[in-house]
Chains A and B, each alone.
Chain A
Amino acid sequence: MTTFKPTPFTIIIDISYTVRPLYILILLLGFLTAVDTLLFVQHNLAGNRLDGHQKIAEIAVAGLGLTDLCISTEARYTRHPSISDPVVPFMDHLGAIEHFPSGSFWVPVTPKTLFTQNN
């Protein structure tokens, strides 16, 4: 009779009859759920922290009359899309290229006047 030498494969098989693969999947999903729960808690805590900053942000916006987030500062229509001029080609400079990629994402907004706006 051949002497039985356990190998990683045989150990896995033995385990799979003691611990079902289904339980391992549940364990893995449980681990991911735990991580996501921690992130959820962090999300709420960070949200609370940002709420504190939110008050200061509101003071800044109200005190300075800000109308746009400072996201893309390379051109006026990317920095202040809500209150800037409509875009015309080469409006900054004859040689000025399009401010890629944020310019392509900032749709040139032409705010309608209240006369032309539908109520």
Chain B
Amino acid sequence: MPKNYILIELDSVTKIYNQGKANEVTALFQVSLQIEQQTMVCLKGSSGSGKSTLLSIIGCIFPPTKGRAVIAGRPLSRLPDRFLTIHRRECIGFIFQQFNLLPALSVIDNITLPLFPLGVPPGERKKRARRLTEMLSISHRENFPAGQISGGELQRVAIARALINDPPIILADEPTAHLDSRLSLEFLDILEHLRATGKTIVIASHDPLVTEHRSINRIVEVKDGRVHVP
């Protein structure tokens, strides 16, 4: 794929929650955005600005109410839920705020969760996970329950989980919200490395450590459901 290939394309995307009901809310309005492959984009905005909704549409969690969204070459608008899930599984890796790992499961089980519905046998799952744990220097924690490892290690486990399916797009929602500055910078360095290997990364954050990091190619401001693309 050429480097300036448009991997994420949103054209006049509007998202309305509870359409037609008394509590109708327009979370996004007429958002148009293009993100090229192998770039790192930061969606900057305060809480309630629509960042998470925008991230959910990019992440193929739900389609837009109006407008056109094409993610990794596939338009989302008319995709049924099942195909949306499959597309999300193949193309998107998520890193959440607080990482959203299952504390009772081991590190390796957390990392390989996305592989279960793909019918990957246990041996193969472990092999793929091991490659990532070695790359991220957490192989010594493979068999520990996720609830018993440190914050920095949790961060790496979350990254490993996002990468297990080798998706072209990585989405991170406020990933540094609960990290100190050292861990935040470490995290951004890893993301920069991933971008260098060909990944496209979209981070939703209002943390200055993120928005002002050298690895961010573009900042998109989200305010009141609209974006301002410089």
Instruction: List residues of chain A with CB under 8 Å of any chain B CB.
Output: 1-2, 4, 6, 9-10, 13-14, 16-17, 20
Contacts and interface: CB of A to CB of B under 8 A. Distances in A.
Interface of B: 106, 108-109, 122-123, 125-126, 140-145
B152 to A, nearest CB: 12
5 contacts: A4-B141, A10-B144, A16-B122, A17-B123, A17-B126
Q: B106, B109, B141, B143: which has the most chain A beta carbons within 10 Å?
A: B143
A13 B122 contact: no
B140 A2 contact: yes
B108 A4 contact: no
Secondary structure type dominating chain B contacts: helix
Interface centre among A6, A10, A13 (most CB of B within 10 A): A13
Contact of B140 (A4, A9, A14): A4
Contacts of A13: 106, 108-109, 142-143
B122 A14 contact: no
A4 B142 CA distance: 10
A70 to B, nearest CB: 58
Given A13-B106, A20-B122, 17 more contacts: A1-B140, A2-B140, A4-B140, A4-B141, A9-B106, A9-B143, A9-B145, A10-B143, A10-B144, A13-B109, A13-B142, A14-B143, A16-B122, A17-B108, A17-B123, A17-B125, A17-B126
Contacts of B143: 6, 9-10, 13-14
Contacts of B126: 17
A20 B120 CA distance: 13
Contacts of B123: 17
Contact of A17 (B122, B141, B144): B122
A58 B125 CA distance: 67
Contacts of B109: 13
B217 to A, nearest CB: 34
A14 B141 CA distance: 12
